[in-house]
Each structure stands twice: as C-alpha cells, then as structure tokens.
Structure 1
Amino acid sequence: MPDKGRARERGPAAETAGEGASPEIDHERLRRRARFLRELNEAKELRERVQPRRARVARMRHQMRMRTFRW
C-alpha cells in the first residue's frame, strides 16, 4: 500500500507537472537545480583539496570508464 503522506509532501508542483507546469514552477525548479549543481561542484573541489590523491584516483577511474564506455 503506497504511503499517501509522501504524495502530499511533494506539494502542488508535483501535481501540476503532469498538466504542463507553469513557467513559475519551471523557473523555481531550474533555480533549485542550479543551486544544487553549484553546491555539488563546490563539494567536489573541496574533496579534491582535502584528499588530492583519492580525488585524482577517482578522476582517473572516471576517465577510464568514459574511455571504455560504448555509445
């Protein structure tokens, strides 16, 4: 049985998304997304400064994954 409380927590934005979201909601979503991406970038930079070796290894692994990935 699905939790109906969670559906209410989403608010009107989730309800109107299927009906063609208004520009206000899209603008708010884009603003939240931009803030999230800025914070994510900031966290990645901080991680690189705090753990340079681990960050370098993670970067190299990511590059290797991208090289071996088939499109």
Structure 2
Amino acid sequence: MKSNPDTGAASPEAPAETHAETERPPESEAERRRRRAVFLRELAEARELRARVQPRRTKERRMREALRMRTFRI
C-alpha cells in the first residue's frame, strides 16, 4: 500500500531516511573543545560590546554583584 501525500501518512522508509540525515558522527573531544572556545570567545566579545553600549547598566550590575559578594563573606 502506497502512502498518500495528502493524508500525511508516511511510508515505512521515511523515518529511516530522516534519521540518517539528522544522525551525525560522534565529534572528537578536541573538536568539541574548539567549538566551545569559539563560543566563549564570541560571548565575551558580546559582553564587552554591551558594556560599552550600556555603561550605566553595567555599572549597576557590577555594584549589585559586589553587594552580593559582600553579603556572603565571613
């Protein structure tokens, strides 16, 4: 029995094909670390840019963080 595209019923082969497309080979540890380093570098750049664009918010955030740190000191 063939599937009808109008009903949305898929043939038994369709899930296997889509699974093969989404399945990736396991990435190496070095590759994962490299991607993570790139992400963290871009995140730091974005934070620096935001600090330059919104200095008032940055100052308020630093002050709140300092107050929070003082609260838990012995």
TM-score bucket of the superposed structures, by smaller chain: 0.5 to 0.7
Q: For structure 1, which runs of at least 5 residues remain unmatched after alignment?
A: 14-23
Which residue of the partner structure matches residue 38 of structure 2? 35
What is the TM-score with the length of structure 2 in the denominator?
0.56
Give 1 or 2 for the bigger CA radius of gyration: 2
**Greater RCO (Cα-Cα under 8 Å, separation 6 or more):** 1
Q: Are 1:52 and 2:65 an aligned pair?
A: no
Structure having the higher helix fraction is: 1
The alignment partner of 1:49 has SS state of: helix
What is the TM-score with the length of structure 1 in the denominator?
0.58
Question: How many residue pairs are counted as aligned between the two chains?
Answer: 54
* Residues in 2 aligned to 1:69 and 1:29: alpha-carbon distance in whole angstroms: 35
Q: Are 1:12 and 2:12 an aligned pair?
A: no
* Residues in 2 aligned to 1:9 and 1:69: alpha-carbon distance in whole angstroms: 47
Identical positions, percent: 61
* Residues in 1 aligned to 2:22 and 2:62: alpha-carbon distance in whole angstroms: 37
RMSD: 2.7
